[in-house]
Structure 1
Amino acid sequence: MLKIGFLLPPAFQIMGLAASSAFELANTTARERLYDIGFFSALGGPVVNSFGVSVETLPLARRRLDTLIVCGLVAPSPTDTQTLERLRSASRIARRTASVCTGTFLLGEAGLIDGRHVTTHWLFARALQQQFPAAKVDADRIFINDGPIWTSAGMSTGIDLALGLIEADYGAELSASVAKRLVVYHRRAGGQSQHSVLLDLGAKSDRIQHVLEYARNNLESGLSVPELAGVAHLSPRQFSRAFMTETGQSPAKAVEQLRLEAARLMIEQSRHTIEEIAAKTGFIDTERMRRAFLRVFGQPPQTLRRIARMS
């Protein structure tokens, strides 16, 4: 039986505990006690969360846990010394240490994410990178597994992370069954975007918004800068400058993101072959698409399709 411990810092956000339901249902689905779940704090006793509800906890000191999951706060703030000391000690003993949402900041304060690929809620990703420059922050991932460190994005993605942990422990079939009982999409792949590309780009003018809509509807086209500049009725130089000013990205980078988003959705929701999807979304060939998927999502197209079909 694997022992899962949730570390609850003062004023933790209660949604972080939703992940515990995944482990509970893994026990129910398997009809055996695969996981033992406990709530911990630095010294034990009641811990009041951000909503004012008190949760009874056990002291974390000298606890042998298989997996320690650190709950996040509504917004990151400095953590008390005792909690950080207990976190460091427990992580040295645990097989895995994970965080939900802004819990990644606690891992950072404890010195656990230097050199690691990590994520957190997109709203605080830049602050995380600035505060912990030795970490490799990916602001657009649902969750990331880098060795013994697992991190997730917003509070609800703690469920995706828990399903990922269950899959790593007992296989994809059990993870898919738990997801079905939770009435959630079978664990969103770790690389899935936290929000849509068009929302992320946030074009302010109708001119650039129209270009983005054109690009999304014409992915099979080359979508070169001159072509997109023609849609915007600007010279290529003027267009590139305006596009970068409004979106913070080059046209080529934005087009790749649109292609990746469309390709991922087709892979997960259609019966088109990988070759057909590469052609329909404007990639030169399947190898080019595979490399883009690995770079951005951390998984090849075939893996995302397999996960989707299991759901």
Structure 2
Amino acid sequence: MHTVGLLVYPNFQSLGLAVATVFEYANLMHDEPAYELQLVSEHGGAVMSSQGFSVNTIPLGDQGYDTLIVTGDNECRLPSASLINYVKDAPNHSRRVASVCTGAFVLAEAGLLDGKRATTHWYHARSFESKYPKVELEEDRIYVIDGQIWTSAGMSAGVDLALAIIEKDLGIEVARMIARKLVIYQRRGGGQSQFSALLELDAKSDRVQMALAYAKENLGGDLSVEMLAEAARLSPRQFSRVFREETGQSPAKAIERLRVEAARLMMETTRHPIEVIARETGFGDRERMRQAFLRAFGQPPQAIQRAAAAAELAI
């Protein structure tokens, strides 16, 4: 049985506890319990969250854990020096040491990220880079694996990291079953961007949201203004006007962003040829996709595909 220690310290952000549910469902959906999860702190007992309620913990074990996961807080405050020292020694008695969100600051303070690739919440990326220049920060990643060190982005990305741990331990089918059970719409790969085109478009009306949802589900099909307007139940003229008012851009530009996002995810999570990805995401041919990638990322698809392949080999 794998032992998992979920480490909290005063003023921790409670959303970090969500990773525990992933391991709970791994036990419920597996033939026999696969994980023993312990909520731990430096001294044990009640530990107060940033939201004013406390959780009961047990003291950190000297024997270590198969996986130690360090949660974060809202203000990037560091725990005690003695707890930092415990984390510093953790790789000597843990197969994996992981962080959720600003827990990466704890790992970095302990020196575990020096010379390694890592990520953290995008909001704190500049502060992190300034404080820990020896870390190769990949701020636009859901999670990053570098050897035995795993780091994830914002709090919800801890769920993606936990699913990746289960996929590594128990296989992809178990991870998929858990994602479905938790009603996770899309199990995100580590290479996926922290930013969502749909979220950034920030559509306010139900009609524009319906059109964007339709587009997201039909990227390989006809996404002309006429088709999107039909999905939104508006005339093409009305739709174009309302869409620009709500999102600040044209439907064509928004669709390109959705397609670029989907194509990049396919590059980072599959081995499909670029021609196939261009066709599946609605670009039609690789040259149209290349131009869109240059506009969005300043580099061609091949560069992103090579970087994804190199990151996979480094795991």
CA distance in 2, matches of 1:197, 1:85: 40
Matches within 5 A, 1:1-311: 1-196=1-196, 260-264=260-264, 275-278=275-278, 280-281=282-283, 283-284=286-287, 289-295=301-307
**Paired residue secondary structure (2:155):** coil
Tell me the distance in 1 between the aligned counterparts of 2:32 and 2:287.
49
- Under a length normalisation based on structure 1, what TM-score does the superposition of the two structures give? 0.72
Please state how far the C-alpha of 1:263 moved relative to its aligned partner: 1.6
Cα shift at 1:118: 0.7
Deviations 1:162-181 (A, max 9, x none): 00000011110000001111
Equivalent AA in structure 2 for residue 295 of structure 1: A
Q: Give the total of aligned pairs.
A: 255
1: distance between equivalents of 2:264 and 2:157? 19
For the 8 Å contact 1:43–1:59, the answer to whether it is kept is: yes
* CA distance 1:124–1:213, change in 2 (3 Å): farther
Structure 2: distance between partners of 1:184 and 1:265? 17
User: Which AA in structure 2 matches 1:148?
Assistant: Q
Deviation digits for residues 197-236 of structure 1 (CA, Å, limit 9, x no counterpart):
59879xxxx9xx65x876555x6xxxxxxxxxxxxxxxxx
* Aligned partner letter, 2:38: G
User: CA RMSD for the aligned pairs?
Assistant: 3.3
Give the secondary structure class of the aligned counterpart of 1:167: helix
> CA distance change for structure 1 residues 259 and 181 in 2, over 3 Å: closer, same or farther?
closer
- Secondary structure at the residue paired with 1:55? strand
Q: Equivalents in 2 of 1:95, 1:151: separation in Å?
A: 14
| Uncovered stretches (5+) of structure 1, i.e. residues with no partner | 220-256, 301-311
Q: Aligned-pair distance for 1:264? A: 3.9
Question: What amino acid does structure 2 have at the position aligned with 1:9?
Answer: Y
CA deviations on 1:240-291 (whole Å, 9 max, x unpaired) are xxxxxxxxxxxxxxxxx876414247889xxx98524336546449996354
- Asked whether the 8 Å contact 1:190–1:298 carries over to 2, the reply is no
Cα distance in structure 1, aligned partners of 2:61 and 2:69: 15
- SS state at 1:179 partner: helix
Q: Distance in 1 between matches of 2:138 and 2:301?
A: 20
Q: What percentage of residue pairs aligned between the two structures are identical?
A: 43
Residues 264, 304 of structure 2: 8 Å contact kept: no
Letter paired with 1:135: V
Contact 1:191 1:297 in 2 (8 A): no
Residue 21 of structure 1 and its aligned partner are, at CA, apart by 0.4
Native 8 Å contact 1:63 1:90 kept in 2: no
Structure 2 runs not aligned, ≥5 long: 202-244, 291-299
Q: Aligned partners of 2:170 and 2:302: how far apart in 1?
A: 27
Please list the CA deviations of residues 73-123 of structure 1 after superposition, one character each: whole Å capped at 9, or x if unmatched: 012023211211221223321000000000000001111101111111110
